[in-house]
Amino acid sequence: MARIVMKFGGTSVADIARIRNVARHVKREVDAGHEVAVVVSAMAGKTNELVQWTREASPMHDAREYDAVVASGEQVTAGLLAITLQNMGVHARSWQGWQIPIKTDNAHGAARILDIDGAFLIKRFGEGQVAVVAGFQGIGPDNRIATLGRGGSDTSAVAIAAAVKADRCDIYTDVDGVYTTDPRIEPKARRLAKISFEEMLEMASLGAKVLQVRSVELAMVHRVRTFVRSSFDDPDAPGMGDLLNPPGTLICDEEEIVEQQVVTGIAYAKDEAQISLRRVGDRPGVAAGIFGPLAEANINVDMIVQNISEDGKFTDMTFTVPSGDVDKALAVLERLKTTIGYDVVQSEAGMSKVSVIGIGMRSHAGVAATAFKALADKSINIRAITTSEIKISILIDGPYTELAVRTLHSIYGLDKQ
């Protein structure tokens, strides 16, 4: 017998037929004798609809009331799944985040989980009950519902798995695992059997949409073994109930991966914009004077490149932001012009960031050089580069994104079995 947390995303519970299919997945684990808790998202499209309603009611709406509205989508799904499970003879009950309780901070709309007492759910296990928990939500210090931001149900599931010391956390989605790159761009992309927490964190933060970044962070901190699986697989197919290695991709400690490839995957993010500040006075505190106000404006700055002039008096500062934040970033920089003392600010949208990721890069030289040469051979110009121990990110012109992804996927042999 094992303790399993199962999470199902919006496309997996999009209608009653799919909810019935999800219930079959849950019943399979219950019939195998496992203790099961389930975390659900809102039905596909419902959260967007609820968000739109709040905007129509008032463009400048209260964040606490926003949370009260958008959290209702998960409540509906949890109730429907509990009803369906009961109809199949499974002892199930739906629960809201505040009933567990999942305690969060007060940042309504983008709250962070502070604490979950696993005792409530463990008591449900002892009663033989499947607890169906509304994901994406908790309760803030003001005793009101707080939501966790987009993709928050993944975070709910991993946090609950950590709280109850689950043997596994299964994240069911519309894909059957984590791939070496996006199969829509590269048909030769392969599903990975295992990927380390660190690699998955890089993949998620650099453009892969399989898991929410905070959920991977939580899984890594609490060492929660996490499987990415497809809810559209036949619940009763051979191997689906395998306790140790069910179909999908295992996200785990690096030590569990015996054969480590140098490069594990290629991620990409479109709609990046490049902003350059020319002839900034080179003095202590100038970087803080630029990036502090941008952070306060909730603008996510990514790649940063600095070039010092020959006489050491001036610097050019180039960085990237999401294309949607360009106007806001330029407005912040304009207000800072007299304080910072730059000559001119330039911006260009339509960039893409392509990243090479792999824990094997720590012990292998020449990985970056291979990428640069491969892109040069395809006449792809590199705008900026950032690196870490296990990743290389390259900024290029947007129209070359797919060619760059396919080229790098091939040059590192990721298209070979």
Contact (CB, 8 A) for 181 and 409: yes
CA–CA gap between residue 192 and residue 72 (Å, rounded): 35
Q: What phi and psi, each to the nearest 5 degrees, are found at residue 373? A: -65, -40
Binding site per annotation, positions for ATP: 7-10, 173-174, 179, 184, 209-210
Radius of gyration over alpha carbons of the chain, in Å? Answer: 23
SS3 call for 249 = strand
Contact (CB, 8 A) for 28 and 172: no
Binding site per annotation, positions: 7-10, 47, 74, 173-174, 179, 184, 209-210
Dig out the tokens for 217 from the structure. Answer: 């962070």
Write the single-letter amino acid at 325: D
CA–CA gap between residue 64 and residue 157 (Å, rounded): 23
- 417 CB neighbour count, 10 Å cutoff: 5
Residue 281 is classified by DSSP as: E
CA–CA gap between residue 154 and residue 133 (Å, rounded): 12
Q: Which residues pair with 393 in a beta bridge?
A: 355, 386
Using alpha carbons, select from 147, 117, 132, 137 the residue that is nearest to residue 22.
132
Binding site per annotation, positions for substrate: 47, 74
